[in-house]
Structure 1
Amino acid sequence: MIDLDVIGIRLAAPEDVPVLLLRESGGTRLLPIWISSVDAAAIAIVLDDSEQFHRPMTHDLLANVLDEVSNGKPGTVNITEMRDGVYFATISAGSFVFDARPSDAIAAALRLEWSIECPEQLMDQVGVEVDRSETDEVEKFREFLDTVTPDDFENENP
């Protein structure tokens, strides 16, 4: 099994379907999973460390139930396969294994800080090879864009 890190959610354009990007830990391959906007929002709340709602949302409830089922012990999300363009996943919690959509499973796993993994065969089949330095540079540039203001570009010598 390959351990996966959640890199983030990307949109090529506002009208595009969100893509959840998972990278093999310590590797250079990405596993892209197209997800709904609702699932992207549920994942983004955790990734962005956004303010939590006063009442539990659906993925918070799922995480709470999984935590109880596993008796507080860490579980695992396994992206098991892709069949006819659709990804499949399981959630292992205690002695239970649940069939799940990858986006739901990952939204819960992020809330619980559980590991996410996939079989080597799946990564070989659908993984996308990227140059690690290129993705690091893109991430640094995105961080810069998140912090820059128009005042940063004012000319000191008019």
Structure 2
Amino acid sequence: MIKLDVIGIRLTSPEDSPVLLLRERTGSRLLPIWISSVDAAGIALLLDGEKTFHRPLTHDLLATLLLEVADTEEPGVLKITEMRDGVFHAVLEVGDRAFDTRPSDGVNIALRLGWGIECAEQLMDQVGVEMDEGGTDEVERFREFLDSVNPDDFENDESDGSSEG
């Protein structure tokens, strides 16, 4: 598994879905995941330092519940495991339990709890985007990349024939 850091939320245009950008901790590749505007707003608030709200949000409730059911003092981890039929799949691992989750929900919870975020190396090899440590030229190239792709471009060519319900 590759350890990831959340580097931000990007919008390619107002009518497009936000993109969650995760960067491998010891490399230069990004894992872009298209997410809903609602999930993006929750993550953006956390990245901007907003840790408390007037009332608990759904992700706050889920984070509290996960801490209550955890049978361990060890922190949990979000593992983004694969992309199947153009959809990312992830699990939140807490002690000896694993909870299926959308990556955006998992990131929302992991950020609240200070838990790690990881992805399968094969997934990063499949859909990761290489970014050089260079300056603004690289940022501009990545913006051009985001302008030229959509979520359908990341569909897995090797369908296993299974479908989700």
Q: Indicate the percent of aligned positions where both proteins have the same amino acid.
A: 67
Residues 65-106 of structure 1 deviation map (CA, whole Å, 9 limit, x = unaligned)? 112222453001000000111000000012210000000011
Counterpart of 1:36 in structure 2 is 36
Q: Deviation above 4 Å: which 4+ runs of structure 1?
A: 135-138
Contact 1:78 1:118 in 2 (8 A): yes
1:57 to partner: Cα distance: 0.3
| Mean CA deviation greater in 113-122 or 60-69 | 60-69
Task: Give yes or no for contact 1:69–1:94 (8 Å, CA) kept in 2.
Answer: no
Give the counterpart letter for 1:62 in structure 2: L
Aligned partners of 1:27 and 1:42: how far apart in 2?
27
RMSD over aligned Cα, in angstroms?
Answer: 1.7
Please report how far the alpha carbon of residue 54 of structure 1 lies from its aligned counterpart in structure 2 after TM superposition.
1.7
| d(CA) in 1 for partners of 2:39, 2:54 | 19
Query: Is the contact made by 2:9 and 2:21 (CA closer than 8 Å) also made in structure 1?
Result: yes
Partner of residue 89, structure 1: 90
Query: So what's the TM-score if we normalise by structure 1?
Result: 0.82
Q: Using the alignment, how far apart are the partners of 2:51 and 2:77 within structure 1?
A: 25
Structure 1 match to 2:148: none
* Secondary structure of 1:74's aligned partner: coil
Q: State the number of aligned residues.
A: 138
- Based on CA coordinates, which of the two structures has the bigger radius of gyration? 1
Aligned letter for 2:90?
Answer: A
Q: What is the distance in 2 between the residues matched to 1:126 and 1:113? A: 25
Structure 1 spans left out of the alignment, 5+ residues: 139-158
Hey, what's the Cα distance between the residues in 1 that align with 2:3 and 2:134?
20
Give the whole-Å Cα distance in 2 for the aligned partners of 1:12 and 1:28: 21
